[in-house]
Amino acid sequence: MGYYFRILGSSSSGNCALLKTENSTVLIDAGFSGKRICEMLAETGECIENVDAVFITHEHSDHASGVKGLARHKNLIFHANADTAHAIQRKLTRRVTWSLFETGRPFLFRDLEVSPFSVPHDAYDPVAFVFAWGENDLFNPSRKLAWLTDLGYVPNLIKQKILDVDYLVVEANHDIKMLEMDNRRPWSLKQRILGRHGHLSNKAALALLQEAENPNWRKVFLAHLSKDCNNVDLVRRTFQPIEISHQCSMEVVNPDSAKGMEVTG
Ligand SMILES: [Zn+2]
Ligand SMILES: [Zn+2]
């Protein structure tokens, strides 16, 4: 086996993905209960005992609520920057095994090169990740994957960072009109979501994809959809007119089930 990536779930209410390479089995974010993550792993034929590490983008519950339950598994190492680790740990009684990284400084974990970089979002020190692995031979091709959710806008530096990845998971959080018309969210929360430290709208995500010059992408996953202020059909319709390149396909991650949201190589 070369590698396997699967989104276990992604929406405003929870995010978690599995990445398996030759020498690593890791989770990216843990935004469901530990029990639910174990169930989702079982659906892929995997189990938490085989997972080596969890990489956490930021402390919001839709990315970190599973840390509490998963920390029972003593073999698991949780990678986060200091501010994020602190924000999560201070709400827990159980001591979590943290491995701290510095935002902006790439590091190695087994056969993965992990690049955490800063994103504009209303958390202590939120990051997105690029994971790179492989030897660039036939049996173990070198690949890159970007996990880019929870950001109010896309700074130029980030646009550059994601151009050469093979697989891009990017947030298409809300439809601006649906959010404005939503009557369950107070005005202040709407302003937060729409602001520079909120979330990418469909329109913003579309612009990001359209403006990318010669991207290397093989597959783009549109993820982290809001259950109330977005829907799969609308995202499909919005993104349908664009063709990134002949080699690139696009998937919309259903907020109720991420079934089939995977790549193998
Ligand atoms: Zn967040
Ligand atoms: Zn989120």
User: pLDDT (tens digit, 9 = 90+) per residue, 23-51?
Assistant: 999 999 999 999 999 999 999 999 999 99
For the ranges 58-62, 149-153, 174-178, 182-186, the lowest mean pLDDT is seen at: 182-186
For tokens 């983008």, the residue is 57
Task: Please tell me the number of Cα atoms within 13 Å of 3 on its side-chain side.
Answer: 27
141 Cα: distance to centroid of ligand 2 (angstroms): 31
The ligand placed nearest to the CA atom of residue 149 is 2
Cα of 127 vs centre of ligand 1, distance in Å, is 10
What's the 123 CA to ligand 1 centre distance in angstroms? 7
User: CB within 8 A of 177, min separation 6: which ones?
Assistant: none
Superfamily for domain range 4-256: Ribonuclease Z/Hydroxyacylglutathione hydrolase-like (3.60.15.10)
Specify the pTM: 0.97
Distance of CA 122 from the midpoint of ligand 1 (Å): 7
How far is ligand 1, taken at its centre, from the CA of residue 105, in Å? 21
Question: What pLDDT score does 23 carry?
Answer: 96
Longest dimension (CA), the chain: 54
Q: Which ligand minimizes its atom distance to the CA of 63?
A: 2
Rounded CA separation 79/54 (Å): 6
User: Which ligand has the nearest atom to the CA of 224?
Assistant: 2
Rounded distance from Cα 14 to ligand 2 centre (Å) = 7
Q: Which chain residues have CB less than 5 Å from ligand 1, an ion?
A: 60, 150
For residue 19, report the distance from its CA to the centre of ligand 2, in Å: 19
**How far does residue 214's CA lie from ligand 2's centre (Å)?**
28
pLDDT band at 1 (very low <50, low <70, confident <90, very high): low
AA identity, residue 22: E
Tens digits of residue pLDDT in 227-243:
999 999 999 999 987 87
| CA 12 to centroid of chain Cα atoms | 11
- Calculate how far, in angstroms, residue 64's C-alpha sits from the geometric centre of ligand 1: 10
Three-class secondary structure of residue 254 per DSSP: strand
% residues pLDDT > 90 (the chain): 93
